[in-house]
Structure 1
Amino acid sequence: MSLSTHPLRAGLLVLAGATLISFAAVFARLANVEPTTSAFYRMLFGALGFILLISVQGRLREGFRRGWGSSGLIAIFFTADLWFWHRSIDYIGPGLATLLANFQVFVLTAVGVVWLRERLGWRFATGLALAMSGLWLLFGRDWAQLPPDYRLGIGFGLLTATAYAAYLLSLRGFQIREGGFRPETRLLQVSLWCVLMLGLLNLIEGHDFSIPDRQTLLSLIALGILCQVIGWLLITRGMPFLPAGLVGLLLLLQPSQSILWDVLIFGLRLSPLQITGALLALTGIYFGFRAASRRKLG
């Protein structure tokens, strides 16, 4: 077994990638710009990172001249994902917004049930029950007392999960149907489309593209380079060489760590019942990931 495929090395790659992307919501919150503006710069700096990578390693350019139409469709879903998620971060904070975004695993499995007529397994049923119980402990008990913006942020978080699932399904589907594409090439195309779409949305919303201070600039660069490029490259390089259960546990570090950073950096405070709810939701997401990993959609 070569060093590049050694399970320990692969596990460390996924662990490092999950840790990096756990900071994505933190950097978005630290940027003193509108949500759509921060999403725009995330994709802009991410695209520049992919351009640099592809220019250094020419073999990664395979397929770059083709597939722009399908990449545009994929980008619609990812643009929606970012638009919803960055607003959810503003309303409910980085930790809980990231937790809700990870509910995409249930959407993926539900698509398999409706589209491919797959049967619901015990993992999905258990995971969904745990996740719904966790949601109720986190938000449902005091729903009537929550501020309107907070409730809107919860809705945006769940819409993020739906849009992200659509992005993953379309990305996987087109990668299967259109051969000869390097993942880096596809991600660069999607990133460039997202830059265009988010830029237009930012103008329609009446926002400019100014970066007001150094903290915002550094946060946006880190969001685009560390999270969008390096974090996901590490995960995609390590995932194929690990069992699905271990991948699920390692990827669970992303929402878990995002909640931790929210507590340490932004002072998130959760009651004992809410902490229990978060743990139940995380456990449910893990079972949901195991259920989704057993299905081949696309």
Structure 2
Amino acid sequence: MRLKILQPVTALTLGAVIISFSSVFVRAAHVPSSVSAFYRVAFGAVFLVLACILKKEFKPRRLKNNLLAVLCGIVFGLDLWVWHLSILYVGPGLATILSNCQVFVLTLAGVFLFKEKIGWVFVLSLPMAFLGLFLIVGVDMGHLTRDHLIGIGFGLTTALFYSIFLLVLRQIQSDRNDFSLFYYLMVVSVASALFLGGKIYMSTDSFAIPDVITLVWLICLGLFSQTIAWVMISNALPKVNASFAGLILLLQPTLSFVWDVIFFDRITGPAGWAGVVVVLSAIYFGMTGKK
């Protein structure tokens, strides 16, 4: 019985670890972040179409779930777009912290929508995790300008979009009578690609891929981040408490910092590494504390 409970948590954790490499792929590609976001979902859609063909998952599906998947894709596209706007105003560090306020939204949804029971250890682990993130990024909250406040607004909006995306995806995947591991993620990816592609078309950015190296990194972004990681995450979401899922997904920004240090020689001090330990400890305490 315990093994059955641990399997979805393990899948969700591995998915978060894999998706944490997104920052590595994006930094290695020689295109703007908005363009890399488009190719992430576009190449992901290609891989998911191939998976649907191999698994013979192209068959009539419920209209409601198809519409929810399209909505989910648009919301995910909005999440990526608004996150990039937040980065322009406050930088990637604070923007990442703000976007991960999803853990609070998902906890509230878990308690009030799904009637999940959480204990005081879990409640205390949430501010502990955010303290760790602030230590990692080293944000100076003492100098907030009007642009910072705008960026904070965009960052919190990102968290809201990300939470809606996860909750709608959870709802789609929980319909066992119309369950399809690859099909609905494919619809989500196609809808996101169309939305982000439209934003790029109306902007000054270009769809051009400048070199083969960039193409390889963008394909990796679509294969690992959008396909493999999200297949694991979406398959686990209906089987894991929403509050726990939000906490586990904090592994993504934490490990992104670690990869930044390892692969791109990011300069960091004891406070940054202390932040990593604090976040990982908060996730451990939140997952193992008594309900």
Q: Could you tell me the TM-score, scaled by structure 2's length?
A: 0.76
User: Percent identity, aligned pairs only?
Assistant: 40
Contact 1:106 1:288 in 2 (8 A): no
Greater displacement, 41-50 / 144-153 = 144-153
Contact 2:15 2:229 in 1 (8 A): yes
Structure-2 residue corresponding to 1:228: 226
Greater displacement, 19-28 / 39-48 = 19-28
Q: Which residue type is aligned with residue 56 of structure 1? A: L
Structure-2 residue corresponding to 1:35: 33
What runs of 5+ residues in structure 2 fail to find an aligned partner? none
Structure-1 residue corresponding to 2:67: 69
CA distance in 2, matches of 1:53, 1:260: 32
Contact 2:136 2:257 in 1 (8 A): no
Structure-2 residue corresponding to 1:270: 268
Q: Which residue type is aligned with residue 264 of structure 2? A: F
Structure-2 residue corresponding to 1:129: 127
The 5 Å alignment of 1:211-290 reads: 211-235=209-233, 254-287=252-285
- Structure 1 residue 283 displacement after superposition: 3.3
Greater displacement, 41-50 / 234-243 = 234-243
- Structure 1 residue 168 displacement after superposition: 0.8
Contact 1:82 1:160 in 2 (8 A): yes
Give the counterpart of 1:44 among 42, 45, 54. 42
Deviations 1:27-81 (A, max 9, x none): 11222222221111111100000011111121x3344574432222111221122
Distance 1:253 1:148, change over 3 A: same
Q: Which residue type is aligned with residue 190 of structure 1? A: V
Give the secondary structure class of the aligned counterpart of 1:220: helix
Distance 1:110 1:215, change over 3 A: same
Structure-2 residue corresponding to 1:22: 20
Give the counterpart of 2:189 among 187, 191, 196. 191
CA distance in 2, matches of 1:153, 1:278: 24
Q: Which residue type is aligned with residue 169 of structure 1? A: L
Q: Which residue type is aligned with residue 41 of structure 2? A: M
RMSD, aligned α-carbons: 4.3
Distance 1:8 1:119, change over 3 A: closer
Give the secondary structure class of the aligned counterpart of 2:206: coil
Distance 1:96 1:19, change over 3 A: farther
The 5 Å alignment of 1:151-166 reads: 158-166=156-164
Q: Which residue type is aligned with residue 38 of structure 1? A: S
- Structure 1 residue 164 displacement after superposition: 1.5
CA distance in 1, matches of 2:59, 2:269: 51
Distance 1:281 1:232, change over 3 A: same
Distance 1:194 1:136, change over 3 A: closer
Contact 1:28 1:86 in 2 (8 A): no
Distance 1:171 1:254, change over 3 A: same
Contact 2:94 2:137 in 1 (8 A): no
Give the counterpart of 1:80 among 78, 90, 105. 78
Q: Could you tell me the TM-score, scaled by structure 1's length?
A: 0.74
What runs of 5+ residues in structure 1 fail to find an aligned partner? none
Count of equivalent residues: 287
Distance 1:65 1:46, change over 3 A: farther
Contact 1:62 1:185 in 2 (8 A): no
